[in-house]
Chain A
Amino acid sequence: MIVAVTAKGPELSSEVDPRFGRAAYIVFIDTDTGDVEVLDNRKNAEALRGAGIQTASTVAERGAKALVTGHCGPNAFEVLKSAGIKVANQSGGTVKSALDAFLDDKLQIMEKADVEGNS
């Protein structure tokens, strides 16, 4: 399956970006094939509002089944939930460590948004 992780840089060794909608990069890892794709999300910063929605839509389009991020607003969460994507909570560490923690079931799965929008 494809797992998405929000990141401050485009590598597996990059630090996790705690924000979702305005995260600098989204790293997609296909756990079956080991393929890694990186989305540069920085231009999404132009959106005045709804950045989370935009990013969530992109994550869904790429076929991700799970997302690991620090915080997620209510609109973005609604999109992810409607698309059947599990959202797991991790704020620190690297993309690789976040992915491993998720696969080891060590992370808390979010039941609802934990921040209001616009953060």
Chain B
Amino acid sequence: MIIAIASGKGGTGKTTLATAMAGVLGAGGQLLDCDVEEPNAHLFLNPRISESRRVTVPVPRIDESKCTYCRKCQEVCRFNALVVLPGHVLVFDQLCHGCGGCVRRCPERCITEGEREIGFVEKGLAGDLEWVQGRLRIGEAMAPPLIREVKKEMSPGKTVLIDAPPGTSCPVIASVQGSDFVILVTEPTPFGRHDLKLAIDAVRVLGIPCGVVLNRADMGDRGTHELCSVEGIPVLLEIPHDRKTAENYASGGLITDVHPEYKDSFVSLADDIRRRIFQERRRRTA
């Protein structure tokens, strides 16, 4: 099964939860860190990296010996990546979305596709756990293609945890799409609640069942419980706040290092989600 761990707001404990669950899954699990702008699961899991590969996206390359400067490629491009000047064609690689429209359109067939590097996919093992992350070049805009490459490394038969980026814009959607379940991690504060609502709406658009994990659950108000009740979203787990946990996290430790008694809760959480996925599948085929 594929479980995405997301949150509307950053800093609510998404990576804390993802790494803790990954820790209890061990050999049966796989963690895909799709927060490609700032992957940080590796700081807690300390994987031994066994493989690293470049990820590229296609960009147009013009054979100017055949080009007639007819400007049809510029006309078809919606992203302003091509400018045809008298006797010269300029290509702006970083604006290209890789749609292939210019290649199709060119009447002289003088456009081929070169590559532009957007980042890396890295794989390794953290103990018995399989770990994969995507790392986007600094300043790079194209996160979704890299995220899709990370997801291609999914191992069949494992419980796959996807650590998604925060927010609701397209990298989050690219990470969460295709999952069987989404855990939304939040905190019981007005900020947390506001962003949780946005995240619930986003997940609804994708039609994936979800549940909430409330982090620092004793530091806040009841508003989040009320919201979940109104939205019909289950609160699957509550993790209390304590300073020891925060200090340990600061050092790069897993929450289960300080609270080994939580391990059972995370195992139960995974089982609970498995049951819900099953129920959802039965409901859909009925």
Contacts and interface: CB of A to CB of B under 8 A. Distances in A.
B95 A57 contact: no
Contacts, number: 37
Interface string B74-97: 100001110111101010100100
A49 B79 contact: yes
Given A50-B80, A57-B74, A78-B90, A83 B85 contact: yes
Nearest to A74: B92
Interface string A38-80: 0000000001111101101100100000000000000100110
Given A78-B90, A82-B88, A82-B90, A56 B95 contact: no
A53 B80 CA distance: 6
Q: How large is the interface on B (under 10, 10 to 19, 20 to 34, 35 or more residues)?
A: 10 to 19
Contacts of B79: 48-50
Q: DSSP class of A's interface residues: helix, strand, loop or mixed? A: helix
A79 B82 CA distance: 10
B83 A79 contact: yes
B90 to A, nearest CB: 6
Contacts of B80: 47, 49-51, 53-54
A50 B85 contact: no
A115 B13 CA distance: 37
Contacts of A50: 79-81, 92, 95
Contacts of A82: 83, 85, 88, 90
Interface of A: 47-51, 53-54, 56-57, 60, 75, 78-79, 82-83
Interface of B: 74, 79-81, 83-86, 88, 90, 92, 95, 141
